[in-house]
Structures are given as structure tokens and as C-alpha cells.
Amino acid sequence: VVSVCSKLYVHLHNSYLEIDGGVENHLEMGKKLLAAGQLADALSHFHAAVDGDPKNYMAYYRRATVYLAMGKSKSALPDLSKVIELKPDFTSRGNLLLKHGKLDEAESDFKKVLKSNPSSKEEQEAQSQLKKSDEIQRLVAQAQSDFTRRDYGSAASHLDIIIDTCVWDADSREMRAECFIQLGEMGKAISDLKATSKLKSDNTQAFYKLSTIYYNLGDHEMSLNEVRECLKLDPDHKQCFSHYKQVKKLNKQTQAAEELIQQEKYSDAVSKYESVMKTEPNVPQFILNAKERMCHCLSKDQQPANAISVCSEVLKADPENVNALKDRAEAYLQDDQYEEAIKDFESAKEHSENDRQIKEGLERAQRLLKQSQKRDYYKILGVKRTAQKKEILKAYRKLAQQWHPDNFQDAEEKKKAEKKFIDIAQAKEVLTDPEMRSKFDQGEDPMDPESQQGGGHHHHFHGGWENFQGFNPFGSGPFNFKFNFN
């Protein structure tokens, strides 16, 4: 039965290879899939090619190439050894060993090629690669010496040359990553560490370093992603687990704060970001990020004095922070500091020319500055820009009673009171009408025909005090003023 089954398997397998185009077809398909980055599918075809022709050195070589691309160098080496066994003058294994930084083994392979009566082309290539291997060994020794002496710039320069040849050498990349960390070039360090995390299997240290770099850059989300990769490989990794707890807590607090901002609960969001700063007081970037968001919240919450203070702290550390410039500009507008707002919007525009919000903010600030040089209804009533309707009416009633012309007997004083009373009445009309107040807040005076941008109705008073005869500041309809003072 076993004999029959075995024969049947061989027959079916050979039939499959014939139908599928045989070994050459598998090699060709595998090569295309490898070029497309579909490593698993490519590996399946090369497995089939090896099974179909166990003496085809190219099938082993292609399969080894896929293993190396997957970071499985241990699986690749037996296939490369099989290649040398089948074809002693094959230099590609030496080339692959050289790319992996296995200099002694690569040198041994190139020497074997030279002893195997190679063709002139293969001999020339082997000699060239042998010379290159010797040069790389010299550079490795120099880089290690530079690194020991803490000459990280020189070490990195030598490692650049080494890695140009030894592209899959994890050790060289790890050393260069450490040089970049010491030199403060974190982007380059991240690039090398990401490569080493793939070149070395179970490289928990690379993931831990990546997580700590992102953490110190203030990127809690990326830090959390990398430390999770470490714990997938080793759930009991002490450094990664301890770091994971810290990052997770910080991430949770930050997400909660951002949710509060989305819900427009700005005061609660400020408190949450204060908690973030207590959780991590030693990483400057987290402090800066938290203050930037607090600056935004305070501006949105109509707390101009506090917003200006916090935003200024952010801008002292990061003068080109566009978000802080925009938020401080808005706070300046709330505080009637129009010229300061214009300066901030102009600075923000220099760093972000196409930001529509900045353009609109700058135009609004310029209108408000121009408006402030004419009439300011908030100042007329003595209320803040954030005042509610109830406060506005209370201020209006008090001033209307104070400046009613009937209170004055002297002709000059009466004339002055009439003008004042009209201003007070106009201020009340504008600020208690949502549409007119919105226009005024955008820098347009609804009572000034010249500032109207076409269309609509104009709520302005014609003439003088005579048009207010019978006007009731305490309600609607005709009313004759007569104040009795006890």
C-alpha cells in the first residue's frame, strides 16, 4: 500500500509540475512575486521548484533570497551552502554573506571560488569582492574604535560606507542607530532601528529603543505601538512592560482630553492636560504638547488672559508653533488687543501661507482694529465681548437711566447727553440682536451704512434726540420718561 501511494504521489506531483509549467515556471513566477514584494507567495513557488528539481542550484538560491528578505538568515544559509555544493564557482553566496556583514564567511567563499578553476569573469568578480571584503573589515575596526572614543560623527560616517555594501548587516545598523541617538538625529536612528527589527528575529531591544525614542519625541501613539511589538515577542520583558504601563496611562489621559475638546468641554480638557503633565513631568515635549492644547482650550473657552499666558509659554519654547500663534491671536482679539492679534496672525501666515483660518483671522483682526478706532458698542455699554444678553440689558438700563436727556437742564449738557443716549441705545440694539452682534464681532458695524457689504436692512437711527421721544429703554412701545429719585 505504501509503495502504491508513493508512486501515486510522485505521479501526481510530476503531473502538477507539467500542468503548472514545471520548475522553470515556478522560478519565473517566484521571481516576479519576489519583485512585487509578495514574499510568502514567492516562497511557495521556490519550495515547489526545489521539490521539482533538488539539483537545481538556482532554485535554492532564489529560496535563500526570499528567506533573507523575510529576515530569516538562519533558514537561508543551508540553501546557500547547497548552492555552493552544487556549483562551487557560484559567487552569489559570498555576495549575500557580504551583504549580511558575515565578512569571514564571505572571504572564505570567494577564496573557494578562486580555487575552483572559475571562468575569467567569475575569477575577476571573486577577486574584486575579496578586496571589498578586506576594505570593509578595515572600516569596521575603525568605526568600532571611533565609537569607543565617543566620536559618533566619525563612526557614523564609516558605518555609512559599510552599510552601503553590507545592507543586511543588523549589527552595523544598530551601532549607527546608537551614533544617531547620541548625535540627536532621531529620524535617522528610527530608520536604522526599524530595519534591524526586521533583520534580526525576536529583536525586542530594537522595539524597546524605538518606543523610548518616540516617547521622548512626545509621540505617545507610536511609542505604544512599538512597545506592544516588543511584548508580542516577549510578554515578560521587564523594560518593555514597565515602559508599556507608563505609555498606556499617558495615552489614555491624552485621548480623554481630546475627547473633551471634541465635546467642547474646554475647562475639563485643561484639567486633563494638567494631569498629563503630572504623569510625565520629565519629557519636555510632552509638557510642550500639553500646554499647546491648553492654550487652544483656554482660547476657545473665552479666557483670554490665561490663554495669552499659556500660549506665550509655548511660543517661548517654539516660536514657529502655528497653532499657538493662531490661538494666542484669537485670545488677543477677545481681549481687544487687535494690533497684537494682527502680529500673531502675520507670523503664523509666514509659516503656513495657505492656511485659510489664518487668512480669515487676519482679515477679521484688521477689520476689528479699524472698527475700534470708530465706535465700540461693548465699550459704550462697559461690557466684555463675552457678555451674555442679560448682562448687556442690565448695563444698558443703568446707562440709559443715567444719560437720559431729561436729567439735564443745561443746554450743552443736554446735547451731550442726547448723543450719549443715542450711542447707548444703538449699542443695545446691536448687541441684543444675534445677527447684528455677529456682524459686529466680525468687524462690521451694522449701524454704519458705509460698512455694510451690500443687501440686507440697516438698523441705524436718523436724525437726533427728537426721534427718541417716547422711546422706552426698559421695554417696548411708547414711554414718557419721568424718573423719581428718593
DSSP symbols for 58-85: HHHHHHHHHHHHTT-HHHHHHHHHHHHH
Q: What is the pTM assigned to this prediction?
A: 0.66
- Residue 112 φ/ψ, nearest 5 degrees: -65, -40
Query: Which of 337, 304, 307 is CA-nearest to residue 323?
Result: 307
Per DSSP, 407 falls in state G
Compute the distance between CA of residue 170 and CA of residue 200 in angstroms, rounded to an integer.
7
Q: What is the pLDDT of residue 144?
A: 96
**Three-state secondary structure along 455-479?**
CCCCCCCCCCHHHHCCECCCCCCEC
- Does residue 283 contact residue 215 with C-beta atoms inside 8 Å? yes
Contacts of 182 (CB under 8 A, 6+ apart): 150, 152
Longest dimension (CA), the chain: 130
Displacement of CA 138 from its chain's centroid (Å): 41
Grid cell 492656511 is found at 355
Q: What is the pLDDT of residue 11?
A: 47
Per DSSP, 87 falls in state -
Three-point CA angle 40, 41, 44, nearest 5°: 90
Integer angstrom CA distances of residue 111 from 97, 107, 292: 13, 6, 62
Q: What is the pLDDT along the chain (486 residues), one digit of tens a residue?
A: 545 554 444 444 444 444 445 888 999 998 888 888 788 898 999 999 999 999 998 999 889 888 877 877 678 878 878 887 887 666 677 887 888 888 998 888 888 888 877 778 878 888 898 999 999 999 999 999 999 999 999 999 999 999 999 988 889 999 999 999 999 999 999 999 998 988 887 899 999 999 999 999 999 999 999 999 999 999 999 999 999 999 999 999 999 999 999 999 999 999 999 999 999 999 999 999 999 999 999 999 999 999 999 999 999 999 999 999 999 999 999 988 999 999 999 999 999 989 999 999 999 999 888 877 778 888 889 998 889 999 999 999 999 999 999 998 888 888 888 988 998 999 999 999 999 999 888 888 888 766 655 444 444 444 455 545 444 554 443 334 433 333
Compute the distance between CA of residue 136 and CA of residue 156 in angstroms, rounded to an integer.
14
Compute the distance between CA of residue 166 and CA of residue 99 in angstroms, rounded to an integer.
4
Q: Which residues pair with 478 in a beta bridge?
A: 471
Strand spans (E) along 345-400: none
Integer angstrom CA distances of residue 466 from 79, 192, 477, 481: 105, 83, 16, 14
Per DSSP, 295 falls in state H
Compute the distance between CA of residue 472 and CA of residue 346 in angstroms, rounded to an integer.
46
Contacts of 57 (CB under 8 A, 6+ apart): 82, 83, 86, 87, 90
